[in-house]
């Protein structure tokens, strides 16, 4: 099978002299940047709340779960920056002459490393958030505290280990094929053939493992929540329905885009056109995971409504 993408070579005249044109890709990039601002504001407000106002003895949410949620959402918003660098800005064609000017291979390699590093951070932090949620529900509080203390450093170490090999992959600016217009570029690695490289296959395997782990943890958490509600009802005890509902909805909102990502990997085997459609859907669900989850948690959880 042939090459999927056309490399943008140094000093290639048609790209070097390309004139930027404002189109719907530019509109989408600007709009998605603008509607990202509230999420960044809210996440920093929640971090400030956690540092200065949150009581570790709070009964509405465990401090480790709250902190893990903040870490997860911060890394998710952090990964959105790399998404702009790799795809949303280049596809507008604003970087096309720069890509054709040469002397940018090292910059591109580090952008790609940043993309995969932030991708791994967001997925691993999601696993730790779900794991902590399950451990507390099953009354493994001591183990949960140990996991929480180790989660940040383990996330960084594993993310670096998974993303560092990408620095050795072939990388370049590439002309995206139809339905993208001439001058709409992507910045990518592992693009010489349709055959996935070893780091890419490892990444796919890790993502599949993460997907199945999150599904299992979700099932365990929901089963335990139902059991606790039934027990509380039978004993006529109070149960914090609002706080629990917020966390349940948050977990569902988080896992949905991960399912879409996994479908994208499967879709790649059916050809570029299918993968292209799924990639467009992925952008929407990635934004939903970053923005909807952050805003939903902040505006529905009862702890933020207390004066």
> What does the pLDDT read at residue 199?
54
> What does the pLDDT read at residue 1?
32
Q: Which domains does the chain have, with CATH numbers?
A: 6-304 (1.20.1070.10)
Mean pLDDT by 10 residues, the chain (307 residues): 50 78 87 90 92 77 89 90 88 85 78 89 88 85 90 91 80 77 77 52 68 76 69 56 64 70 60 58 73 86 72
| Cβ-based neighbours of 211, under 8 Å, separated by 6 or more | 258, 259, 261, 262
Q: Could you tell me the pTM of the whole model?
A: 0.80
> What does the pLDDT read at residue 4?
45
């Amino acid at each position: 099978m042939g090459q999927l993408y056309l490399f943008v070579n140094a000093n290639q005249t048609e790209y070097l002299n390309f004139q930027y044109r404002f189109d719907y890709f530019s509109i989408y990039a600007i709009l998605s940047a603008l509607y990202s601002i509230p999420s960044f504001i809210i996440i920093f407000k929640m971090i400030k709340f956690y540092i200065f106002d949150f009581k570790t003895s709070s009964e509405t949410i465990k401090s480790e779960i709250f902190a893990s949620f903040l870490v997860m959402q911060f890394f998710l918003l952090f990964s959105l920056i790399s998404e702009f660098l790799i795809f949303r800005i280049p596809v507008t064609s604003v970087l096309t002459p720069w890509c054709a000017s040469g002397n940018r291979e090292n910059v591109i390699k580090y952008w790609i490393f940043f993309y995969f590093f932030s991708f791994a951070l967001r997925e691993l932090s999601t696993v730790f958030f779900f794991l902590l949620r399950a451990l507390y529900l099953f009354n493994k509080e001591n183990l949960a505290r140990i996991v929480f203390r180790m989660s940040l450093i383990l996330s960084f170490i594993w993310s670096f280990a998974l993303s560092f090999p990408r620095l050795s992959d072939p990388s370049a600016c590439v002309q995206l094929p139809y339905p993208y217009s001439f001058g709409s570029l992507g910045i990518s690695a592992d693009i010489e053939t349709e055959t996935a490289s070893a780091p890419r296959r490892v990444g796919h395997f890790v993502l599949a493992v993460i997907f199945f782990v999150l599904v299992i943890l979700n099932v365990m958490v929901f089963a335990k929540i139902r059991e606790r509600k039934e027990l509380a009802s039978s004993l006529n005890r109070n149960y914090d329905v609002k706080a629990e509902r917020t966390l349940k909805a948050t977990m569902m909102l988080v896992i949905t885009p991960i399912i879409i990502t996994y479908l994208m990997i499967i879709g790649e085997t059916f050809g570029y056109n299918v993968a292209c459609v799924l990639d467009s859907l992925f952008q929407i669900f990635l934004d939903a995971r970053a923005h909807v989850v952050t805003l939903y948690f902040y505006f529905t959880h009862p702890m933020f409504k207390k004066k």
